[in-house]
Amino acid sequence: MADTLIAPNDKDLLKDEPVKYINELTTLNLGPTHPATHGIFQNILQMDGEKIVSGEQTIGYIHRAFEKIAERRPFYQITTLTDRMNYCSSPINNLGWNMTVEKMLGIEVPKRAQYIRVIMMELARISDHLICNGILGVDTGAFTGFLYLFEERENIYEIYEEVCGARLTTNMGRFGGMERDLSPVAQQKIRKFLKTFPAVMKEFETLFNRNRIFMDRTVDVGPLSKKMAMDYGFTGPNLRAAGIDYDVRVMNPYSSYEDFQFDIPVGENGDTYDRFMVRNEEIWQSLRIIQQAMDNLPEGPYFADAPEYYLPPKKDVYNNMEALIYHFKIVMGEIDAPVAEVYHAVEGGNGELGFYLISDGGRAPYRLHFRRPSFIYYQAFAEMCKGITLSDAIVIMSSLNVIAGELDA
Amino acid sequence: MLTNQEVAEDLVKKYGADVFDFEDPFDLLTLSTTREQIVPMLGYLKAHASFQITFLTDITGVHYPDSPGQEFCVVYHAHSWVHNFRVRIKVFLAEADLHIPTAIPVHACANWMERETFDFFGIIFDGHPKLIRILNMEDMDYHPMRKQYPLEDGTRQDKVDALFGR
């Protein structure tokens, strides 16, 4: 630790002794409501001047006890809990949970529904990465890129609206498929997005990728070695920036991801710049996947033939006794669940989003645990910001894309 | 491609009677062990030359109040990225003695996962450098995920399972 100069007070100056230099650290509260944390969590930093000596995170400010609530709720009502975790990419959370329950119930989802899901999940990934990279720009002093991107994010939210009726907390998908087919309007909006978005993304990349100021702020800031990334449980773009090509979509393909051609971008040093570049490239790859899914969208039903679990069409509910019974049973949460133990993982915006579900055959899960990627890798932040300046710590935190809702569940 | 059989046989050879209750729900190898063996076993799987189960995916707890002597369960999920092989290891603990050694020496990421498990279930991870609550407030005096804390009023009649033929 370097000696710190502390201004001597006036009384000491009057004395006839040499001025003493005192070692003193400043405690700085970064958060809980600091604008640079982009969410409600606190970092208690021990500062030596502008350098961080040690840090400690305090989290849990928006803990909502989702796992406990889930033990009392019917399965389909838990979908609304999941989209409040990573609210930047809610459809991935929703559909991941739906797939977990489908795995438990043994429902085979038709190809068309799987493709619609892939389209929605990749749109969600794009919007998640847009927020992270846009805000990284804001934190390094460039507001413009953020505003350019948010216009496109708005378009993604309009697609969500067309598909499920909601924008942020989407509650998308049902056990067995999607709640409605991809309407012509939705298809047209997705095609329009595929046409207009690349130009905006190119412009954003031109603004940042070789920008001297941006590179000075991010290159070699917060490097992450392969070993450290694995030790600290990193997954997702942050892990891939460190050079490990682990992606759940490729290793354990779900929802027909094996049908699509896409690359997994990896970084080299795992620094902030690599994380930024990996996310940018993933946006391009997501676009590729959406394009393929739209071009090869199979015909057929958009929900599985599983009347005990999938809400019947409203017309049938009014005209058909059997459909009415199913409707009542499903809405009351009285679906038959087997005794089972399932772990299902999807590639969320931040990494491996896992659902560990234990069912005892009751109307609600016996135990449901969410493996939230940012909860697990955020513990490395204290280690990563040792010995660097405060301004770099902000940039690192921003590039890790810690989402408070996912952190606290 | 690593098979469940291969790993199970290897673990039985190495740990004998300390590994038991083998299952494979949805093709995921699930086994139980004792708390004395859990950390060495995680280390063994991590250092194993061919298995390379180096990534600790998750640690969590489960409460089974109706199984005396085995009220609590700590569940570890580990993953080998080389073979795309997942394993789930369970350790059952008695409510009277909720101690289990910490896995931090093997996997650094166990730190917060163990704190979370302690926070919600009260399971004490011996050797953990800072075993304090993580998501709940520090002056809370109970562990909320235990089954004795119901979410709703216990006298409520409209959700009684018997009414629905369960």
Is the predicted pLDDT of residue A245 greater than 50, yes or no?
Answer: yes
Under a CB-based contact definition with an 8 Å cutoff, are residues A201 and A207 in contact?
no
High-pLDDT (> 70) share of chain A, %: 95
Of A104, A94, A176, the C-alpha closest to A365 is A104
User: Across the interface, do B112 and A379 touch by the CB < 8 Å criterion?
Assistant: yes
Sign of the dihedral through C-alpha A177, A180, A186, A188: positive
Q: What is the pLDDT of residues A254-312, one digit of tens each?
A: 999 999 999 999 999 899 999 999 999 999 999 999 999 999 999 999 999 988 899 89
Is the predicted pLDDT of residue A189 greater than 80, yes or no?
Answer: yes
Residue B164: list chain A partners with CB under 8 A. Answer: 332, 334, 363
Give the architecture-level CATH label for domain B4-150.
2-Layer Sandwich (3.30)
**pLDDT band, very low/low/confident/very high, at B160 (cuts 50, 70, 90):** low
User: Across the interface, do A379 and B109 touch by the CB < 8 Å criterion?
Assistant: yes
Give the architecture-level CATH label for domain A66-408.
Orthogonal Bundle (1.10)
CA atoms of A87 and A98, how far apart (whole Å)? 17
Q: Is B74 on the interface with A (CB under 8 A)?
A: no
Q: Which two tokens stand for residue A238?
A: 């942050």
Domain ranges of chain B: 4-150
Q: What is the pLDDT of residues A82-139, one digit of tens each?
A: 999 999 999 999 999 999 999 999 999 999 999 999 999 999 999 999 999 999 999 9
pLDDT at B156: 67
* Cross-strand partners of B118: none
pLDDT at B164: 62
Is the predicted pLDDT of residue B154 greater than 50, yes or no?
Answer: yes
Q: What is the pLDDT of residues A152-171, one digit of tens each?
A: 999 999 999 999 999 999 99
**pLDDT band, very low/low/confident/very high, at A21 (cuts 50, 70, 90):** low
CA atoms of A349 and A344, how far apart (whole Å)? 16
Is the predicted pLDDT of residue A232 greater than 50, yes or no?
Answer: yes
* CB-nearest partner of B136 from A63, A72, A375: A63
High-pLDDT (> 90) share of chain A, %: 69
Is the predicted pLDDT of residue B122 greater than 90, yes or no?
Answer: yes
Task: Calculate mean pLDDT across residues A58-72.
Answer: 91
pLDDT at B165: 60
Is the predicted pLDDT of residue A30 greater than 50, yes or no?
Answer: yes
Is the predicted pLDDT of residue A12 greater than 70, yes or no?
Answer: no
Under a CB-based contact definition with an 8 Å cutoff, are residues B27 and B92 in contact?
no
Residues 294-313 of chain A whose Cβ lies under 8 A from any Cβ of chain B: none
A contact test, residue of B151, B156, B159, B163 with most A CBs within 10 A: B151
Q: Is A264 exposed, middle or buried (0-12, 13-18, 19+ CB in 10 A)?
A: middle
Please give, rounded to a whole number of angstroms, the shortest distance from the CA of A230 to a CA of chain B: 7
Is the predicted pLDDT of residue A4 greater than 80, yes or no?
Answer: no
Is the predicted pLDDT of residue A356 greater than 60, yes or no?
Answer: yes
Task: Calculate mean pLDDT across residues A180-194.
Answer: 94
Is the predicted pLDDT of residue A14 greater than 80, yes or no?
Answer: no
Under a CB-based contact definition with an 8 Å cutoff, are residues A341 and A357 in contact?
yes
**A31 torsion bin: left (phi>0), alpha (psi -120 to 50), beta (else):** left
Q: Where in chain A is the domain with CATH 1.10.645.10?
A: 66-408
**pLDDT band, very low/low/confident/very high, at A1 (cuts 50, 70, 90):** very low
Under a CB-based contact definition with an 8 Å cutoff, are residues B26 and A342 in contact?
yes
Residue with tokens 């609600």: A364
Q: Which two tokens stand for residue A31?
A: 């958060």
Q: Is B81 on the interface with A (CB under 8 A)?
A: yes
CA atoms of A369 and A367, how far apart (whole Å)? 7
Amino acid identity, position B6: E
* CB-nearest partner of B57 from A371, A375, A379: A371
Q: Is A343 on the interface with B (CB under 8 A)?
A: yes
User: Across the interface, do A59 and B107 touch by the CB < 8 Å criterion?
Assistant: no
How would you label A307-337 residue by residue, b for 16+ Cβ within 10 Å and e otherwise?
bebbbbeeebbeeeeebeebbeebeebbbeb
Q: Is B82 on the interface with A (CB under 8 A)?
A: no
Q: Which residue of B has its CA nearest to A337?
A: B166
**pLDDT band, very low/low/confident/very high, at A332 (cuts 50, 70, 90):** confident
* CB-nearest partner of A371 from B58, B135, B136: B58
User: Across the interface, do B62 and A358 touch by the CB < 8 Å criterion?
Assistant: yes
Under a CB-based contact definition with an 8 Å cutoff, are residues A236 and A347 in contact?
yes
High-pLDDT (> 70) share of chain B, %: 91
Q: Which residue of B has its CA nearest to A361?
A: B166
* Mean predicted lDDT score pLDDT of chain A: 90
